[in-house]
Amino acid sequence: MADKLKTIVFKEVDHLEVEEFDVPEPGSDQILVRVEACAICTWEQRAYKGINKVEYPFIGGHELCGHIEAMGANVDSRTWHIGDRVVCGAQFACDNCTQCKSGDENACQHFDHSKQLPGLPYHGMGGLSSHYLVNPANCFKVGDTPVEEAALTEPLSCVLHSVESADIHFGDVVLVIGCGIMGQLHAMLAAKRGAMVIVSDTNEERGQMAVGLGAKIAINPAKVNLVETIGEITNGEMCNVVFDTTPIAALVQDAIDCLGSQGKVVLYSSFHPDVPIPFSPNLVHKRNLQFIGTANSSQRDFVRATRLISEGVVSLKPFVSEVYPVDQAQAAFDSACMGDKFRVVVTF
Ligand SMILES: [Zn+2]
Ligand SMILES: [Zn+2]
- Tens-digit pLDDT profile for residues 8-50: 999 999 999 999 999 999 999 999 999 999 999 998 999 999 8
Query: What's the 130 CA to ligand 1 centre distance in angstroms?
Result: 18
Alpha helices by DSSP H, listed for 193-257, are 204-212, 226-233, 251-257
Burial state string for 316-337 with b = 16 or more CB within 10 A and e = fewer than 16: beebbebbbebeebeebbebbb
Alpha-carbon gap, residue 306 to 140, rounded angstroms? 7
Q: What is the DSSP string of 106-154?
A: GG-TT--TTPPPTT-SS-S---SBSEEEE-GGGEEE-TT--HHHHTTHH
Q: What is the pLDDT of residue 111?
A: 86
| Burial classification of residue 164, based on how many CB atoms lie within 10 Å of its CB (0-12 exposed, 13-18 middle, 19 or more buried) | middle
Q: What is the pLDDT of residue 272?
A: 86
Under the banding of pLDDT at 50, 70 and 90, the label for residue 194 is very high
Query: What's the 202 CA to ligand 2 centre distance in angstroms?
Result: 38
User: Measured between alpha carbons, how far is residue 315 from residues 178, 185, 216, 305 in Å?
Assistant: 20, 10, 19, 11
Q: How confident is the model over 49-55, as a mean pLDDT?
A: 88
List Cβ neighbours of 1 (8 Å cut-off, separation of 6 or more): none
Query: What's the 156 CA to ligand 1 centre distance in angstroms?
Result: 9
Query: What's the 186 CA to ligand 1 centre distance in angstroms?
Result: 14
Residues paired with residue 8 on neighbouring β-strands, in sequence order = 18
Query: What's the 151 CA to ligand 1 centre distance in angstroms?
Result: 10
Q: Residue 91 CA: which ligand is closest?
A: 2
136: left (phi over 0), alpha (psi -120 to 50) or beta: alpha
Q: Residue 95 CA: which ligand is closest?
A: 2
Q: Residue 105 CA: which ligand is closest?
A: 2
Under the banding of pLDDT at 50, 70 and 90, the label for residue 1 is low
Ordered domains of the chain (ranges, CATH): 4-152+316-347 (3.90.180.10), 159-293 (3.40.50.720)
- Statement: residue 172 has pLDDT above 80: yes
Which residue, 289, 196, 295, is CA-closest to 245? 295
Q: Residue 44 CA: which ligand is closest?
A: 1
**Quick check: helix, strand or coil at residue 246?**
coil
